[in-house]
Amino acid sequence: MTAIRVRINGSEVADDLPPRLSLADFLRERRNLTGTHLGCEHGVCGACTVLVDGEPARSCLTLAVACDERAVETIEGFGGDPIIAALRQTFHQNHALQCGFCTPAMLITARDLILRQRAGSEREIRDGLAGNICRCTGYTNIVIAIAEAAKEIGKEAPNAQ
Amino acid sequence: MPNDQYGVGASLLRKEDDRHLHGRGQFVPDIKLPGTMDVAFVRSPHAHARIRSISVPPEVRSRVFTAADLPRIKPIRITSHATGTKAPAWPPLATDKARYVGEAIAACIATSRGEAEDLATAVAVDFEVLDAVVDAPRDMHGSRHLIHEQWGDNLYVERVVEGGDIEAAARAAEITVSRQFRMQRQSGAPLEGRAVLACRDHRLDEVVVYSSTQTPHTLRVALGEFLDIEARRIRVVAPDVGGGFGPKARLYPEEIILAALALQLDHPVRWVEDRGEHLLTAAHTRDHHYKATAYADWRGRILGVDAEIVVDAGAYGLWPQGPYQEAAMAARNLPGPYTIANYRARHYTAATNKAPLGPYRGVGRPGACFAIERIVDEVARAVGRDPVEVRAENMVRSDAMPFTTVGGMRLDNGDYRESVRQCAELLDLPAIRARQQEGEPDGRLVGIGFAAFAEQTAHGAAEFVARGAAIIPGFESCTARILPDGSVVLMVGIQSHGQGLETTLSQIAAHELGIDPARISVRHGDTESTAFGFGTFASRSMVMSGGAVARASRMLRDKLCRIGAHLLQCDPAQVRCAEGAVLGPQGSVSIAEIALVAHLRMDGLPPGVDPLLDATATYEPAIGTGVFSYATHGAVVAVDPETGFIELLDFAVAEDCGTMVNPMIVEGQIRGGVVQGIGTALYEEIPYDEAGQPLTGTLADYLLPGAAELPAIKIGHLHTPAAATEYGMKGMGEGGAVAPPAAIANAVRDALASIGAEVNETPITPRRVLAAIRQAQTGRRGG
Amino acid sequence: MKAPPVDYIRPRSLTEALDLLANAGAEGRVIAGGQSLVAMMNLRLASPGLLIDIARLPELLTVVDHADAVTLGACVTHAAIEDGRVADPSHGLMPRVAATLAYRAIRTRGTIGGSLALSDPAAEWPVVLAALDAEVILYGSSGWRSLKCSEFTTGIFQTKLAENEIIESARIPKLSADARCGYVKLCRKSGEFANALAVVVTDPRRGYSRVVSGAANGAPLVLADTSRLVAAGPRDPDALRGTIGSDLDHASDRHFDEFERNLHTVAATRAVQQVLV
């Protein structure tokens, strides 16, 4: 067992973990944060995407113990985050989710695209979503929702980042 | 809110969204029960082997369960009433033989999945490896190797569908086109795999089984049958389900095993499959082989089709329907939406040493559509005419309907030819032709292709009886309940796993009751709190469950009107439900007030009217033979003749599903289905080697289409309401997946027309494209 | 699947990491981004006894911008290269390649050193670094040594990395201002492993020209005759294709079927064409 201290959604958490435990399983099984989902556990489908130190990461390929002294954000966080709020609204209005399994990771990836200003065109958004599989929607509405949210965010803070 | 903003026809935003957007969905692995132990399975590494012995280290013996350790489990048996079908008994944990790679042999239990997997590696199975049967057309009549020894061959069933006089058509033909087609084996691959959590509830004396399933009530039937427990002592819950698409509409051995473990161990047990297990052992899909010959006149009018269809159904039949439907459905749909008068399709459902085959969006139709739509294009090319025109000319005309095709499909209504025209318009066919004339600066070849189909939906009992099905999903049910405060609950037997039925069913009730959908909850997926129903599959839920909701709502509406009229002191004929109230000639009374009377102040009820506001109804459409949605799909591709790589430039659907309850959701279903169809067309396959080993095991080699590979999917609508369903609805959930392989194959054919290459196999990979180009250039025809 | 049991330690210095690696023997394995290693562990294709986490070692995150080269610490991530957050000796080639590597969430953790150490035949960095004539700096119990990247990878998942040795950095010569690069990655699905890779670097001022094929059933394959042809300036497309084909055929340590040979020929041809325009 290895002791770690990690910041999850803004709160310090200390725990003692078997090193083989993935960050995804740590979040889901030990912290009861089940919004992060597992679809493949080999890094392809993207359903497990969270933020580690502010950047998207595959929680299935990240060992929890390797997150010692790091900050993790999951879909259960982002309280007050204007980009996630905008995305939630545009996803809802544009029917950008069906079964909901890919949705938390999709939002986190979309937020990162908007933050890095990589959501300026349909092509750019589609390329940016390459690492997030959706089996239900066919992506059309997801792309529209992200483009709309990017525009909203761009309007509110044209000089952001 | 006025009815047109929330009733039938409104693109009401979804109630489901809120929880998922906040990560508060509740999928089976999200449910936490104290004391849960995780399960991992020891699975066969061999496709075909006798199990001589299973050795478990003594110190862990109590945590490993073989078939002998779970004696209450009975083998899964399919009952089919169709003569000549064979149904092997399938022990959920293998006993004497393993018949496909991945077949479960033992269940291992530990405090975490990782530890359960560690345990599984300690179990040693002694196998006598046998030769594997892997080539369905070659081995189905009984090669030397038999999968089920008592059969004498490797065929579940063989049949023929015939009509007219195919020999006469052959003699009369001016053009004969023969081809072979192949749709490779694949996975349904919902993003959430299968999962089961089972526990005992001592207060209610039940075993509770949470399963990521599309069919909770029938799962309960199965558990009762194969564990010998009364249904009243079983509860099945399908909570949020992360995609189903068909593979989750069948019983799995793991569901029986987990329930048996929960009963025996008296603590919760959980199995969450990983992606490798899913690709290996969840229902495999598609895997069709076609030999087809079309006989036509010099104008391209198809006089007859003669075909042989083989479906590779794997080692066992999935309960309840077994594997029999797939080939039969392909045979009955092969004539397509056409007036073909002469037909023969011999169809074979073969057993092989592969994972069992199950239904997947479209079931037998994508394969049939692939074959017939490619044939139509080849007939057109053989007579030197545009495939778009030849296709339209062969279609059943709207004024000829209802029309029963030679495959036995009673096409109800619709304008099929108009869908072809509209699809071509969506893709701007003339512009594509002009672009082809100009050529591409990078040397790629652009092509456009079309494919059409009619989809039988919401078929009733008679249809399933005709198929010899043991279980007839011929109705759906709804219990509609108004609570003492006037809020509404709809309890339904379907299971919404992305289709938005929590929203659309509330729209129907809102439409009938005049109550805002925001005051209506839909309960589904839990056998405890819903009336019996069959679940969500076969594009049936909106019509069947929607119909039941409509009927139950109207029953409530009538009672509301009786009570309301009484309270308003007028005649029931003078009142109506609207705006959350019963409105009379002079005044109104709110639903809430009526509900209060019906529950808490029954002294206010009219004589002869009982308390409560509770109505249960079932529904089956008036036409048992189904209502047919239809569409034409079109694809524009750019083929790189140097590498064989294909880019999908554009894709359009012109469809008709009658009255749309929620157009936004309809379009979402179309687009989702189309992208799955594109996956079938270009990316997805599970190849097997001669030893029966599957050659894909992860998403690194089983490719799922991503946003970067896809264009935006264009949609156009036609509206031909069904005559025999509530509001004129038709089912449409599967249609999107039916035609893309055919449309894309036809587009590739068009792109490579100057070379004369055809690819008649899915997925259309670069290797297959280059092989086709080479064959065409050396003058040999492969298909 | 879940990873098998493993121990874990995060050393605070490179020397400490090396000591741990030496003491652990065959059971010890360094882990940086873990994007390949954890995936293999999750598939139970790898079961190390002790993971030695080097991802945050300052010695491995150092970037030095020399006059004629850039040294990138082994634990510099693909995303850092993609974003241009580290000095770029390749006039945009490396950021361009980085952007095509797997998916963003992988790139934020995966490292250039990790890619080199694993030398997956379909990986991009071994090919690019070979094309740029980079060196890999290795640190072990007997100190430092450096090898040409083009010689470091010897086969599929095989390198000259010795036991108890860690990749410290890659030193990449800076391209001249008028150097030209070509890069082609052929794959069907964005972010998947390449079906064929080709990288062309031509830097006439340094008299340097190299064409390298990747995802080529073995170590990155330097196409020697093609490299010379590019330096001379090929005029005849058929001669170019023929030379590429001949270079592929002469790779005695591997075999291509017809489809693969064609794909690599096309990839290399198109990459060369990028530097010719």
Please, what are the domains in chain A? 2-73 (3.10.20.30), 82-156 (1.10.150.120)
pLDDT above 70 covers a percentage of chain A that reads 96
Amino acid at B249: A
Please tell me the pTM assigned to this model: 0.97
- Residue C31, pLDDT score: 98
Comparing alpha-carbon positions, the chain B residue that sits nearest to C267 is B643
The class (CATH top level) of B31-130+194-241+248-281 is alpha beta
User: How would you class B59 by CB atoms within 10 Å of its CB: exposed for 0-12, middle for 13-18, buried for 19 or more?
Assistant: exposed
Of A33, A34, A136, the CB nearest to B243: A136
What residues does CATH 3.30.365.10 cover in chain B?
3-25+475-619, 284-461+623-777
Tokens at B234, concatenated: 């079983």
Where do the H-state alpha helices sit in C124-257? 125-131, 149-152, 224-232, 237-249
Of A21, A131, A133, the CB nearest to B191: A133
Q: Do A68 and C39 touch (CB under 8 A)?
A: no
Q: pLDDT grade, residue C125 (50/70/90)? A: very high
Residues B557-586: what's their mean pLDDT? 96
Q: How far apart are CA B94 and CA B97, in angstroms?
A: 6
User: Band of the pLDDT at A160, cuts 50, 70, 90?
Assistant: very low
Confidence at A158, pLDDT banded by 50, 70, 90: low
Average pLDDT rounded to a whole number, residues C147-163: 96
The distance of C65 to chain A (nearest Cα, Å) reads 25
**Is B505's pLDDT higher than 90?**
yes
Q: What is the pLDDT of residue B781?
A: 52
The span from the CA of B478 to the CA of B356, in Å, is 33
Give tens-digit pLDDT for B130-148: 999 999 999 999 877 899 9
Q: What is the pLDDT of residue B783?
A: 45
Please list the residue range(s) of chain C that carry CATH number 3.30.43.10. Answer: 7-53
- Minimum-distance CB partner of B713 among A32, A126, A140: A140
Residue matched to tokens 């809120």:
B18
Domain B3-25+475-619 is found in CATH 3.20.20.140:
no
- Helix (H/G/I), strand (E/B), else coil: B336: coil
Contacts of B24 in chain A (CB under 8 A): 35
Condensed to tens digits (0 to 9), the pLDDT of residues B144-160 reads 789 998 899 999 999 99
pLDDT band at A161 (very low <50, low <70, confident <90, very high): very low
As a residue count, chain C comes to 277
Give the closest-approach CA distance of C104 to chain B in angstroms. 13
C44 contacts in chain B (CB < 8 Å): 117
CB contact under 8 A, A131 and C51: no
Q: C59-173: which CATH topology?
A: 3.30.465
Give the tens place of pLDDT for each residue, B342-366.
Answer: 999 999 999 999 999 999 999 999 9
Using an 8 Å Cβ cutoff, are B551 and B619 in contact?
yes
CB contact under 8 A, C2 and B117: yes
Q: By the CB < 8 Å criterion, does C38 face chain B?
A: no
Q: What is the mean pLDDT of residues A17-26?
A: 98
* ipTM for the complex shown: 0.97
User: What end-to-end distance do the CA atoms of chain A give, in Å?
Assistant: 40
The CATH 3.90.1170.50 domain(s) of chain B lie at: 31-130+194-241+248-281
Instruction: Please report which helix (H) or strand (E) contains residue B772, including its range.
Output: helix B766-777
Taking CB atoms and an 8 Å limit, are C188 and B700 in contact across chains?
A: no
For chain B, give the percent of residues with pLDDT over 90.
93
How many Cβ pairs closer than 8 A exist between chain B and C? 51
Band (B54; pLDDT cuts 50, 70, 90): very high
Domain C180-276: give its CATH superfamily.
CO dehydrogenase flavoprotein, C-terminal domain (3.30.390.50)
pLDDT of residue B2: 52
Compute the distance between CA of residue B513 and CA of residue C28 in angstroms, rounded to an integer: 69
Tokens of B159: 């049949």
User: What is the C-alpha to C-alpha distance for residues A105 and A130, in angstroms, rounded to an integer?
Assistant: 12
* C83, burial (CB in 10 Å: exposed 0-12, middle 13-18, buried 19+): middle
Closest by Cβ to B672, choosing from A18, A37, A136? A136
Q: In whole angstroms, give the CA distance from residue B417 to residue B391.
A: 8
The pLDDT value recorded for residue B1 is: 44
CB–CB contacts below 8 A, A to B:
172
Where exactly does CATH 3.30.465.10 map onto chain C?
59-173
CA dihedral A25→A28→A32→A34, nearest 10 degrees, is: 180
Distances (CA, A) of B56 to A27, A136, B96, B119: 33, 42, 17, 9
C8, C10, C39 ranked by CB distance to A61: nearest: C39
Nearest to A35 among B23, B499, B736 (CB): B23
> Tell me, what's the pLDDT at A156?
65
Interval B490-509 mean pLDDT: 97
Q: Quick one: pLDDT at residue B622?
A: 84
Over residues B465-469, the mean pLDDT reads 78
Q: Which residues of B touch A32 (CB under 8 A)?
A: 32
Q: What is the pLDDT of residues B263-313, one digit of tens each?
A: 999 899 999 999 999 999 999 999 999 999 999 999 999 999 999 999 999
Chain C residue closest in CA terms to A109:
C105
- All residues of chain B having their beta carbon less than 8 Å from the beta carbon of residue A138 are 668, 670-675, 710, 713, 736
A59 lies within 8 A of chain C by CB: no
- In angstroms, the CA B29 to CA A28 distance is 9
Which residue in the set A18, A43, A128 is minimally distant from C39, CB to CB? A43
Inter-CA distances, B48 with B75, B102, B127, Å: 19, 11, 9
User: Do B363 and B288 contact (CB within 8 A), yes or no?
Assistant: no
User: Given CB atoms, is A156 within the 8 Å cutoff of chain B?
Assistant: no
**Tokens 């610490």 -> residue:** C73
Q: What is the reported pLDDT for B266? A: 84
**To which H or E segment does residue B331 belong?**
helix B324-333
The pLDDT of C204-211, averaged and rounded, is: 96
- Domain C7-53: give its CATH code: 3.30.43.10
pLDDT-derived band at B780 (thresholds 50, 70, 90) equals low
pLDDT of B470 over the 90 cut: no
CATH, domain B284-461+623-777, list 3.40.50.1360, 3.30.365.10, 3.40.190.10, 3.10.129.10: 3.30.365.10
Interface of A with B in 30-59 (CB under 8 A): 32-42, 44-45, 47
Would you list the DSSP string of B670-695?
A: HHHHHHHHHIIIII----B-TTS-BS
Q: Which of residues 631-650 of B touch C (CB under 8 A)?
A: 642-645
pLDDT reported for residue B278? 98
**B chain contacts of residue A33, beta-carbon cutoff 8 Å:** 23
Q: Cβ neighbours of residue C164 under 8 Å, at least 6 residues apart?
A: C18, C21, C22, C140, C141
